[in-house]
């Protein structure tokens, strides 16, 4: 396994297990299967509504001594309804209780989007708020306080545009060390990659396989299906591996971490092995040519009528 090395010496396995869309009743087993296969990085979020079941799986493995806590890398995310001062720690403590852990390796702000504490998912655009610099700074201070308190070892963000990330980076006392964003051959974000490399910020690729199991409201007609891309399929044939493995290998070969979701042990094993596949420069170039700036998780659900966001202002594009 390859690792991302943080400045303080901590190291995160570059390939982790995604748990978004892992169904209740399945996710606990999926986490146990993954750890048995050798996964040591699990990506969670309170918004996935499955942290309690993951926590039971962690506790089963840690309390029996089959896996020491410090050998696991656990990430979770602060939901958008807990950005207010005083809410950040409450939300983290709930996640820790659900996951049955006493610290997280990495805690991320899930979106640069806020709503009131009694809303889980806004039904109208008017319930969405765009955090102004002062409120974003207050939320980030709450994140920094968690590091000071020893409750989380690293902090970062998700779904931040380069502009939003640069502004946070400039004002933060503890710099964001991670941006977790949608990255795959159809959504490559090369400028973001070089910005993050220059600033010592790591990137994690979500939806690396194009999230074919994403909810219906995120699907559109005539979408390109990443797993059926013929260029990727040809490279996969040369290596004698699957298309999914080539996409994960591409993510690792370009220097990002990657968190494919699977609840199937065979596919989990395949995905884990992909981190060690070496692609040639020529193959990397061929995949670079596939970019079409296509988001599968485009954030349109935050941009309903009455929202302060449009897709352009959400992504600063
Ligand atoms: P399953 O959980 O049944 O394995 P993403 O990580 O981009 O969100 O994609 C997750 C989706 O891709 C899930 O539907 C998952 O199904 C499927 N998947 C995960 N690994 C593979 C693989 N190696 N080959 C094909 N599909 C995969």
> Quick check: is 137 in a domain?
yes
Q: Check the annotation: does 110 bind a ligand.
A: yes
> Quick check: is 279 in a domain?
no
Atom of ligand 1 nearest to the CA of 270: 23
pLDDT band at 37 (very low <50, low <70, confident <90, very high): very high
Per-residue pLDDT tens digits for 176-202? 999 999 999 999 999 999 999 999 999
Per-residue pLDDT tens digits for 97-122? 999 999 999 999 999 999 999 999 99
Q: What's the pLDDT at 153?
A: 98
Q: What's the pLDDT at 284?
A: 98
Mean pLDDT taken over the chain: 96
Per-residue pLDDT tens digits for 1-33? 999 999 999 999 999 999 999 999 999 999 999
> Quick check: is 202 in a domain?
yes
> Quick check: is 276 in a domain?
no
Report the catalytic residues.
48
Q: Which range is least confidently modeled, 43-57, 94-108, 205-219? A: 205-219
> Quick check: is 275 in a domain?
no
> Sheet holding 178-182: strands in order across?
17-18, 41-43, 73-78, 104-109, 152-158, 178-182, 202-206, 257-258
Domain residues for 77?
Answer: 3-221+256-261+292-315
CATH number of the domain to which 144 belongs: 3.20.20.100
pLDDT at residue 216 tops 90: no
pLDDT band at 223 (very low <50, low <70, confident <90, very high): confident
**With left for phi above 0 and alpha for psi between -120 and 50, is residue 193 left, alpha or beta?**
alpha
Closest CA to 182 of 210, 156, 202, 224: 210
> Quick check: is 9 in a domain?
yes
Atom of ligand 1 nearest to the CA of 243: 24
Q: Is the CB of 295 under 6 A from ligand 1?
A: no
Q: What percent of the chain lies above the pLDDT cut of 90? A: 95
Number of domains in the chain: 1
Mean pLDDT, rounded, for 237-242: 98
> Quick check: is 311 in a domain?
yes
State the pTM of this model.
0.97
> Quick check: is 281 in a domain?
no
Closest CA to 86 of 130, 139, 128, 155: 139
Q: Is the ipTM of this complex over 0.95?
A: yes
């Amino acid at each position: 396994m390859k690792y991302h090395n943080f400045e303080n010496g901590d190291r995160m396995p570059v390939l982790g297990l995604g748990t978004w869309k892992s169904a209740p009743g399945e996710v606990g087993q999926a986490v146990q299967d993954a750890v048995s296969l050798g996964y040591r990085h699990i990506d969670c979020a309170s918004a996935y509504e499955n942290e309690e079941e993951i926590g039971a799986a962690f506790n089963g493995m840690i309390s029996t001594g089959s896996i020491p806590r410090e050998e696991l890398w656990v990430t979770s995310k602060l939901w958008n309804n807990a950005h207010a001062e005083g809410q950040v720690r409450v939300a983290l403590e709930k996640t820790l209780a659900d996951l049955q852990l006493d610290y997280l390796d990495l805690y991320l702000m899930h979106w640069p989007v806020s709503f009131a504490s009694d809303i889980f998912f806004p039904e109208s655009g008017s319930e969405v708020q765009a955090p102004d610099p002062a409120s974003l700074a207050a939320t980030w201070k709450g994140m920094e306080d968690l590091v000071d308190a020893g409750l989380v070892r690293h902090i970062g963000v998700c779904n931040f545009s380069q502009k939003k990330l640069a502004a946070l980076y400039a004002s933060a006392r503890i710099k964001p060390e991670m941006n977790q964003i949608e990255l795959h051959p159809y959504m490559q974000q090369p400028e973001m990659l070089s910005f993050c490399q220059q600033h010592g910020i790591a990137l994690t690729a979500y939806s690396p396989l194009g999230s074919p199991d994403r909810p219906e409201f995120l699907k559109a007609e005539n979408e390109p299906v990443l797993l059926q891309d013929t260029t990727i399929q040809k490279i996969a044939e040369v290596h004698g591996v699957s298309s999914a493995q080539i996409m994960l290998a591409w993510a690792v070969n370009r220097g990002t971490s990657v968190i494919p979701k699977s609840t199937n042990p065979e596919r989990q094993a395949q995905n884990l092995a992909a981190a060690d596949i070496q692609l040639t420069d020529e193959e990397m170039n061929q995949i670079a040519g596939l970019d079409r700036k296509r988001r599968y998780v485009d954030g349109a659900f935050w941009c309903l009528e009455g929202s302060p966001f449009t897709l352009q202002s959400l992504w600063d594009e």
